[in-house]
Amino acid sequence: MGLKQLNGDQAMAYGALSSGVRLVTGYPGSPSSGTVETLIDLAKENNLYVEWSSNEKVAIEMGIGASIAGRRALVCTKSVGLNVMVDPLMALNLTPVNGGLVILLGDDPGGYGSQNDQDSRPLAASLEMPMMEPEGPAEAHVMMREAFALSEKFHTAVIIRETRSFSQQEESVLISDGPYQEYDIGLAREPFRFVPVPLNAVEKHRALHDRLEAVREWAESSVFNRETGKGEKGIIAAGFAYKKFLDVVGKDPPKDFRLLKLSVLYPLPRKLITNFLRNCQEVLVIEETEPFLETRILAIAHDSDCSTKIIGKKNRHLTREGELLRWQIQRVLTDFIPGVIPIREYLKENEVSERPKKKDHCAMCRYDEVLDKLEEAARSLGQKPVLIGDPGCLVTVADRLDAKYALGSAVGVADGLSKAGIDERTVAVFGDSSFFHSALPALCNVAHNRSSILMVVLDNKATATSGFQPHPGVGKNAWGKEAPALDIEEIACACGVKNIFISGLDDSKHELNNIFRKALNLKELTLVIVRI
């Protein structure tokens, strides 16, 4: 055992490794990618399989398979990736897991690297899966180990939530030196255990609620929830927001108010919260981003006939948009408990120093040059095409797009515009990683339904925005070893796309312009692959 300075992502990785994890999957996206990348490095010395899957749905399905086999699996995703996983997760919740299965979920309050400002915690309640959130890296390491044990004890997948700012926090973490033992409880083969069907869906749902109630009882005395202090005013702070609160008041906060640290976010420990509320006249709830806990704590107060006043985001004492910053906590705290003196002053004008750092993987992006050539060709034809993009590197040219939604959505949205009968040519622009992630089903759809849109794949042979991780079109795997490279042209041809053009951005001066002119003039489904 020894102390090691780790950030949040690294602490999660070491926690998973020391838990005996056997399989790790994910799709690139920050936060959570750092955990996969750390485990890729650690896998070389341990019997551990790590991969960047083609998308998050495949990643979770891989994890489910490993769990059935009796091995422990970690699946890493960011917020919008959890959305992609929802379909299999809504069946997984009904099937009691075998080997421990943990989902590391990276939320991005503030939308620093995402197309939305999503709070994923309500999804845990919809999925009916336990969710926890650590206050810092040291607790994250312990929590990851506990999550695998909980998963097997209560036969449920467990979600651990982190945020982008949390992932960059550093702390001394006590870790074991290894070697790390692989965990294997054996393949489970039981009739209907992993087979939800209409005949047993309600019965399985009832059993799920029994398991959740058992988790709730565990949460009542969990070490991850802790009450301190005394007084008539109380503060409930959740996960990393609790750490931010301590940064304002100090590691040893004043004892003249009650403080409840909550790191088990679903299901909530109702008895613990009820007792806390009954000892307070007024309670401030500190969380990020939406009033997820506040709403549920209000319901607990109502159900227990408790008259404690509860404030937070619903009445705008704290913002429910963007990252919760320390200056905001300081402001509401000094209003809520007059006389409390913060250990340091946080100012709104200095909030940029609180925001997480972001690596600019798009600094050398040349996608604007591609759009220049596309628009030049369109002007020469008297056209003004409607441009629909995908997230990713296209964020650098977002001001030139007419619309941009989720990964893989450009093709379907463009086709919807076209089928609606507009006169303008519609163009779907997306990256090579997006092609393999989820554009393929849409490509099959437009080929089958005789679409006339133009698709432009920007092929730079990487998942560039998140750090140049490989995908199925790259001739190497997560470890950098040689792997089959799937060919976009061959796949598109097999799917029924007949008009396919390929050009490099630096090919002869007029080649790409001429290709775009031909493609824009065609009234049939067309694909242009631009190699960057």
CB 62 within 8 A of CB 11: no
Band of pLDDT at residue 396, cut at 50, 70 and 90 = confident
| Average pLDDT, integer, range 387-401 | 83
> Are residues 297 and 423 part of one domain?
no
Report if residue 475 sits inside a domain.
yes
Q: Within this chain, do residues 300 and 432 fall inside the same structural domain, yes or no?
A: no
Q: C-alpha 364: how far from its chain's center?
A: 25
Structural domain including 101 reads 2-220
- Both 329 and 457 in a single domain? no
Four-point Cα dihedral 295, 221, 86, 187, nearest 10: -170
Same domain (yes/no): 459, 330: no
Domain identity same for 208 and 295: no
Cβ atoms 16, 144 nearer than 8 A: yes
CA–CA dist 126, 138 (Å, integer): 29
Write the CATH number for 508: 3.40.50.970
Q: Are residues 175 and 321 in the same domain?
A: no
Maximum mean pLDDT: which of 317-321, 358-362, 502-506: 317-321
Task: Give pLDDT tens digits for 85-123.
Answer: 999 999 999 999 999 999 999 999 998 888 899 999 999
Compute the distance between CA of residue 26 and CA of residue 42 in angstroms, rounded to an integer. Answer: 16
pLDDT score recorded for residue 394: 64
The single-letter code of the amino acid at 110 is G
Q: What HEC string does 387-405 produce?
A: EEECCCHHHHHHHHCCEEC
Q: What is the pLDDT of residue 392?
A: 72
- Residue 313's pLDDT band, with cuts at 50, 70 and 90, is very high
Question: Are residue 238 and residue 275 in the same domain, yes or no?
Answer: yes
Of 324, 353, 382, at which residue does a domain stop? Answer: 353
The predicted pLDDT at position 358 comes to: 74
Same-domain pairing of 374 and 248:
no
Contact 126, 184 (CB under 8 A): no
H or E segment to which residue 297 belongs: helix 292-303
Asked if the structure places residue 451 within a domain, the reply is yes
Q: Is 145 part of any domain?
A: yes
pLDDT at residue 333 is higher than 60: yes
pLDDT at 484: 92
**Looking at the 3D structure of the chain, how many domains does it have?**
3
Sorted by sequence, the CB contacts under 8 Å of residue 399 that are 6+ apart come out as: none
Task: Kindly indicate the confidence band of residue 363, based on its pLDDT and cuts at 50, 70 and 90.
Answer: low
pLDDT, tens digit (0-9, with 9 covering 90-100), for 260-274: 999 999 999 999 999
**Distance of alpha carbon 488 from alpha carbon 472, whole angstroms:** 10
Residues 6+ apart with CB under 8 A from 326: 244, 247, 248, 346, 354
- pTM for the whole structure: 0.94
Encoding tokens for residue 294?
């506040």
Question: What is the Cα–Cα distance from 186 to 192, expressed in whole angstroms?
Answer: 18
Asked if the structure places residue 360 within a domain, the reply is no
Domain match, 38 and 184 both: yes
Reduce the DSSP state of residue 22 to 3 states and report it: strand
Domain C-terminal end among 220, 237, 268: 220
pLDDT at 257: 93
Q: Indicate whether 323 and 455 sit together in one domain.
A: no
Q: Which of 203, 220, 237 is a domain's end point?
A: 220
CA 171 to chain centre: 23
Tokens of 248: 């304002």
Phi/psi zone of residue 323: left (φ > 0), alpha (ψ -120 to 50 degrees), beta? beta
d(CA 321, CA 407): 23
458-515 residue pLDDT tens: 998 877 666 678 888 888 888 888 999 999 999 999 999 999 999 998 877 679 999 9
User: In angstroms, rounded to a whole number, what is the distance separating the alpha carbons of residues 42 and 35?
Assistant: 10
Residue 175's nearest CA partner among 224, 146, 141 is: 141
Phi/psi at 403 (5° precision): -160, 155
pLDDT at 124: 96
Do the Cβ atoms of 332 and 317 come closer than 8 Å?
yes
What CATH number does residue 287 fall under? 3.40.50.920
Q: Would you give the DSSP letter of residue 237? A: E
Q: Is 310 in the same domain as 453?
A: no
pLDDT of amino acid 19: 95
Q: Judge if 514 and 411 occupy the same domain.
A: yes
Q: Is residue 358 part of a domain?
A: no
